[in-house]
Chain A
């Protein structure tokens, strides 16, 4: 897909894999080796010229105890990712105080509204379980909490109950509480069984959260809604640093109307109205493909994946989206693409010479390890290694369309492996999360957080690409990396 073709020293990467595996006890070595591999070119499928690589690793399997997995849990996938950004609902972190505390305001899902009055995203609302709640159960307390929310937050459109580990272990019936309270007030009340011990990562939390939207939100209300032929939903954009807005501006410019944005800056109404749209555009496939499949089956809304990271993907996606709506929209899409081309040219003229040939290693969640690849390549950079925290097999299949021969692939990487890979490859930039940031920088390797955009963003769309380019440049080309060695230390 990229203009510049390149490949990597696959044999060297194989050696790195062999070396890190040597550090493990035998039993763990056997388990971990299935998650590490090197991308190999595979023959184009019959009748196509589609060049892809094979990124064959085992995925979506339990993490090995004690190895320092970087993964989170189902609660993080549901409350932290899918539900938390829905802004006019109150999301109760149901259980002890910690989960809600550590995830409080940390994902930067931007929204408009008056917090604490009509929106509640950056609040930590919890049942703060005490020992007696564990012993006697928390259902009565939950009922009371829902009543108290009604008093103190009268404009809240609904409530979700985000289960923490103990809920499922002590046998609470949050579904019964939800039904009872819904009957009393008529408000949407959603029980989510996203206890942290369920599944192997955040991923099951996404799935559970999707299922709960299906079962407890869709088709429950009949909102007044005037449809247009150009209605779409954006699915799986969490508006981190404003990503969804930088995407929406383009979709509107080509003549489409975004009915629902799931779930960054979303309202409950937007979620409810979504099945009335003509097409679902899905960005984060991993976290929200489930609900797209449901809406396709139940409401006849087709879905397509798209990618708004970097100009080459934006152009391809805009054209592909426009194609679904016919010549009028297609013509507008071309106008929009032409309108932004001078901006793209200016960004590339300024930043590409500073970034050309730089090698990047990625380790992110379930989408970006492939989705951002072309954005880097647009800047002349190369992806030398990539991996996912919680991808499934279909994600690794899709990855083959993005990465080159010899790319190092690591699934559910451990702290040890990632450090050794970085030391071995010495990339010019690592893109990963907060836990990986400081160890990497200590090595003298530039780093950007690619979950939170390192407090920057948006990175989606053309406006976002400019910021992306700027940020990668400032990370790599800051003079601090030249200060690490004291002048009186002789170079070894």
Chain B
């Protein structure tokens, strides 16, 4: 009997016990499977150049794409504002999915409501659902603001949020002057990064429309969709405080997705105060930390006469330098010595470890700004980015990244793949292997299939805990990224030579 009360075996080991190995072998006899040799033959073929060509020739099928849909980004963005409840207009299952998805990554509560539209609403439109839904949400969850976005169902039938919300206000669902910003977020356009942009813009439009800007010298900062937002936004604030900059972070989820365990459940915590959002129209500039998460929002800010600037996820030495220089220029504040020291320490750490980093080859996938940032940092360490893939990356992104690669001898062999998915990446890794893979938890299937060690530095991370609580932005964040990469390299070195008397010649104490 494999099980015992003294040493309870769960799935991780139970099914390796002989009773279960035999059971599964018996089961396979009735499964009608192809012969093992055939399976092996096809498995080998999927890793061939021939398969790669066929794989890249597909035009319609999408397999393991590294992107989610717009409303996820909208729900994430809305969570970054003071006491704000996301209200997603359309089918209810979608909202269950966004909440689960964000909770699985952050290991935190995630609240959002649905207007629960069903067949009748598909025929007659969802106005009544909006009217009832807003009234219920307002009464039940006491939000300070309800941010409305849409599922693809509501988009396909053409529900008009602006008129629906104004209708609901007329019917008394919420007070006339109550804040109900909205954004149409069709899932069949763009990805979660698009939804982020649309929702931030929707919220700004709600508060800024018709206002005239009086420059108050402050700087608006839009962090973008970021699984590391908890650590990153706090690091961002620390840096800006050190510099003495007057700033407004527009959508700050760092407290919302990191509430303490002290006996109280906080449905809302932190977030950008609504008064700050209102006043942010008067900023000198709006700066996006992720260009591909904010094109429309930046245009909108520019229409008020604000200066705008955007970055690609300020990670690593150059990425952080560039960000600080720009902030210094916009704010007129000098970059303090403390930050210069941090910079020096990061460079020092890279120098100390460069022997293990130089010439390492990488595949990187994820959201466009992250992939750009990560490739840039890899180049700084003497690593060679080879396969750079963003399912939600566009042509402009690809060109920009190609320019970056061309700027360094270490980027010579790098190739950029916009719009491709992780099944494409599998072919790339099988035919042109690399030393390390950087991405999110979905990369673990590539790690298994292609034997390439995975480093998790991108949303979503489901199978490792709490990484998001530490920053990857700034020089301090760069240090963390560096250590994460190095740990993987050293662990792999040790693992590959850890059998006593067999392959442990290089099982070195000091490295």
B6 at the interface (CB under 8 A from A): yes
- By a CB distance below 8 angstroms, the chain B residues around A114 are 39, 43
Evaluate contact between A245 and B39: CB separation under 8 angstroms: no
CB < 8 Å neighbour of A346 from B5, B42, B157, B189: B5
CA distance A484 to B51 in the complex (A): 55
Closest Cβ–Cβ distance, residue B186 to chain A (whole Å): 7
CB < 8 Å neighbour of A71 from B1, B4, B92, B119: B92
- By a CB distance below 8 angstroms, the chain B residues around A128 are 62, 65
Which chain B residue lies CB-closest to A347?
B5
CA distance A87 to B391 in the complex (A): 26
CB < 8 Å neighbour of A169 from B58, B100, B153: B153
Closest Cβ–Cβ distance, residue A166 to chain B (whole Å): 5
Interface residues of B in 50-102 (CB under 8 A from A): 51, 54-55, 58-65, 67-72, 87, 90-94, 96-101
CA distance A484 to B262 in the complex (A): 5
Mark contacts of A75-117 with chain B using CB atoms, 8 A cut-off: 1 yes-contact digit, 0 otherwise. 1100000000000100000011111011110100010111111
- The stretch among A47-55, A178-186, A211-219, A431-439 that forms the contact with chain B is A431-439
Interface residues of A in 119-133 (CB under 8 A from B): 122-131, 133
Mark contacts of B239-283 with chain A using CB atoms, 8 A cut-off: 1 yes-contact digit, 0 otherwise. 000000000000000000001011111110000000000000000
- By a CB distance below 8 angstroms, the chain A residues around B153 are 165-166, 169, 196-197
Closest Cβ–Cβ distance, residue A206 to chain B (whole Å): 13
CA distance A269 to B191 in the complex (A): 37
Known: A88-B33, A485-B262. A98 touches B68 (CB 8 A): yes
Which chain A residue lies CB-closest to B131?
A65
- By a CB distance below 8 angstroms, the chain A residues around B69 are 96-98, 101
Residues of B within 8 Å of A, CB-based: how many?
109
CA distance A149 to B101 in the complex (A): 28
Evaluate contact between A118 and B263: CB separation under 8 angstroms: no
Which chain A residue lies CB-closest to B93?
A73
CA distance A134 to B3 in the complex (A): 53
A259 at the interface (CB under 8 A from B): yes
A268 at the interface (CB under 8 A from B): yes
Evaluate contact between A97 and B68: CB separation under 8 angstroms: yes
- By a CB distance below 8 angstroms, the chain B residues around A73 are 91-94, 96
Known: A118-B42, A141-B60. A197 touches B449 (CB 8 A): no
CB < 8 Å neighbour of A98 from B19, B92, B94, B99: B94
B166 at the interface (CB under 8 A from A): no
Which chain B residue lies CB-closest to A389?
B96
A302 at the interface (CB under 8 A from B): no
Evaluate contact between B1 and A69: CB separation under 8 angstroms: no
B210 at the interface (CB under 8 A from A): no
Evaluate contact between A199 and B118: CB separation under 8 angstroms: yes
Interface residues of B in 140-181 (CB under 8 A from A): 140-141, 151-153, 156-157
A486 at the interface (CB under 8 A from B): yes
CA distance A398 to B470 in the complex (A): 49
Evaluate contact between A242 and B14: CB separation under 8 angstroms: yes
CA distance A166 to B189 in the complex (A): 13
Which chain B residue lies CB-closest to A142?
B60
Closest Cβ–Cβ distance, residue B172 to chain A (whole Å): 10
CB < 8 Å neighbour of A66 from B10, B46, B87: B87
- By a CB distance below 8 angstroms, the chain B residues around A269 are 30-32
Known: A69-B114, A102-B100. A148 touches B61 (CB 8 A): yes
CA distance A400 to B42 in the complex (A): 52
Evaluate contact between B265 and A102: CB separation under 8 angstroms: no
Which chain B residue lies CB-closest to A103?
B97
CB < 8 Å neighbour of B263 from A157, A414, A443: A443
Evaluate contact between B92 and A416: CB separation under 8 angstroms: no
Closest Cβ–Cβ distance, residue A472 to chain B (whole Å): 12
Which chain A residue lies CB-closest to B442?
A104
Bin the interface of chain A by size: 35 or more
Known: A131-B186, A442-B266. A122 touches B445 (CB 8 A): yes
- By a CB distance below 8 angstroms, the chain A residues around B121 are 197
CA distance A223 to B151 in the complex (A): 43
Known: A197-B119, A197-B121. A270 touches B136 (CB 8 A): no
A457 at the interface (CB under 8 A from B): yes
CA distance A70 to B187 in the complex (A): 21
- By a CB distance below 8 angstroms, the chain B residues around A98 are 68-72, 94, 97, 152, 187
Which chain A residue lies CB-closest to B68?
A101
Evaluate contact between A24 and B139: CB separation under 8 angstroms: yes
B135 at the interface (CB under 8 A from A): yes
Known: A66-B133, A73-B92. A270 touches B30 (CB 8 A): yes
Closest Cβ–Cβ distance, residue B328 to chain A (whole Å): 39
CA distance A482 to B443 in the complex (A): 37
CB < 8 Å neighbour of A144 from B34, B59, B99: B59
Evaluate contact between A442 and B100: CB separation under 8 angstroms: no
CA distance A134 to B153 in the complex (A): 11
B396 at the interface (CB under 8 A from A): no
CA distance A434 to B101 in the complex (A): 9
- By a CB distance below 8 angstroms, the chain B residues around A127 are 60-62
Known: A67-B113, A245-B20, A484-B263. A102 touches B68 (CB 8 A): yes
CA distance A166 to B152 in the complex (A): 7
CB < 8 Å neighbour of B189 from A130, A199, A249, A349: A130
Known: A122-B445, A151-B54. A466 touches B8 (CB 8 A): yes
Evaluate contact between B42 and A197: CB separation under 8 angstroms: no
B104 at the interface (CB under 8 A from A): yes
Evaluate contact between A444 and B187: CB separation under 8 angstroms: no
CA distance A73 to B373 in the complex (A): 38
Evaluate contact between B103 and A267: CB separation under 8 angstroms: no
Mark contacts of B357-390 with chain A using CB atoms, 8 A cut-off: 1 yes-contact digit, 0 otherwise. 0000000000000000000000000000000000
Which residues on A are within 8 Å of B, measured CB to CB? 23-25, 27-28, 62-76, 88, 95-99, 101-104, 106, 110, 112-118, 122-131, 133-134, 141, 144-145, 148-149, 151-152, 154-155, 157, 164-166, 168-170, 196-200, 202, 223, 241-242, 245-246, 248-249, 252, 258-259, 265, 267-270, 273, 339-340, 343, 346-347, 349-351, 414-416, 419, 433-435, 437-444, 456-458, 462-463, 466-467, 469-470, 480, 484-486
Which residues on B are within 8 Å of A, measured CB to CB? 1-6, 8-11, 14-15, 19-20, 23-24, 26-28, 30-34, 38-39, 42-43, 46, 51, 54-55, 58-65, 67-72, 87, 90-94, 96-101, 103-104, 107-119, 121-122, 129-130, 132-137, 139-141, 151-153, 156-157, 186-189, 191, 259, 261-267, 423, 426, 442, 445, 449
Nearest first, the 8 A-B pairs at minimum CB distance are A73-B93, A269-B32, A98-B69, A66-B133, A65-B133, A102-B97, A346-B5, A96-B187
12 A-B pairs (CB sep. < 8 Å): A68-B141, A96-B69, A97-B67, A116-B46, A124-B63, A144-B59, A155-B38, A196-B92, A197-B122, A252-B23, A439-B267, A457-B10
